[in-house]
Amino acid sequence: IGMAMRLITYNDADIVVAGAAEMATTKLGIGGFAAMRALSTRNDDPERASRPWDQDRDGFVLGDGAGVVVLEEYEHAKARNAHIYAELIGFGMSADAYHITSPDPDGLGGAASMNYALKDAGLLAQAVDYINAHATSTMGDGLEIKGIKHCFGEHAKKLAVSSTKSMTGHLLGAAGSVEAIFCILALRDQVAPPTINLDHPDEGCDLNLVPHQPQSMKMNVVLSNSFGFGGTNGTLIFRQM
């Protein structure tokens, strides 16, 4: 989605359809992540297995999904009276290069991705109202909180931050696209989606993590994080039209 935005920004295209789909719930997909001990083993209580930031989280829940958006140059969209849900204004990427699977222990790679996206959008950190976090229900959840605090400073306490993976599971390659759409709909409805199953936040996870129930709030700018194994990070920023 970020690269599609660049194509339009560079006048290489007027409209780009961008997104992803993945079906990983196969023997190979499940077997590989199980061998890494990355998956939750809460098989007797599956609806509560995905619990980002909770003290009792024990791994992610694998999911299947797809998400696609239509990106269009503003004047081109306006000329054909297209319905515009939001404006994509910032895109950032970073690479931790710290470990084959683990992110930087201080969350600096994620912080860099968010900072690059803010710079690309021409915004100060204080402009952001909501973050759809990458948080997968693994030990890396707390590192993302560290990265958010590093990037946003005192403003982090004023943010709403949630993980929709608590409801969808981890969609792997499709996660970023689906969560971008969550952000767009959050702007449309002025509602931060919840982090379900968050009963006992882990140490250091002391931001407004929107536990259990959605929160109605004024939102103008929202941010979506997608972080991959080995510290490959991407951030998108959307603004209400």
Helices 141-152/108-121 angle, 10° precision: 40
* Confidence at 230, pLDDT banded by 50, 70, 90: confident
Among candidate residues 123, 117, 89, 88, the one with its CA nearest the CA of residue 226? 117
Give the percent of the chain with pLDDT over 90. 94
**Residue 43: other Cβ atoms inside 10 A:** 8
Q: Which two tokens stand for residue 134?
A: 């990458």
> Is 224's pLDDT higher than 80?
yes
DSSP state of 178: H
* Residue 104 clears pLDDT 90, i.e. is over it: no
Q: Looking at residue 102, what is its pLDDT?
A: 79
Reply yes or no on whether the pLDDT at 101 is more than 80.
no
Assigned token pair, 236: 């998108």
pLDDT tens, residue by residue, 119-153:
999 999 999 999 999 999 999 999 999 999 999 99
Q: Evaluate if pTM is beyond 0.95.
A: yes
State which residues form the domain around 180. Answer: 2-239
For the chain, the straight-line distance linking the first and the last C-alpha, in angstroms and rounded, comes to: 18
Model pLDDT, residue 229? 83
pLDDT tens digit sequence for 3-29 = 999 999 999 999 999 999 999 999 999
The CATH number covering residue 213 comes to 3.40.47.10
Compute the CA torsion angle 140, 59, 214, 206 (nearest 10 deg): -40
The number of distinct structural domains making up the chain is: 1
Is the model's pLDDT at 58 over the cut of 90?
yes
Say if residue 169's pLDDT is above 90.
yes
Return the pLDDT at 35. Answer: 95
Mean pLDDT, the chain, whole residue set = 97
Q: What angle do CA 112, 117, 118 make, to 5 degrees?
A: 95
Tokens of 206: 């002391």
Closest CA to 236 of 109, 228, 152, 225: 225
Render 119-177 in DSSP notation, one character per residue. Answer: HHHT--GGG--EEE----SSTTHHHHHHHHHHHHGGGGGG-EEE-THHHH-B-GGGHHH
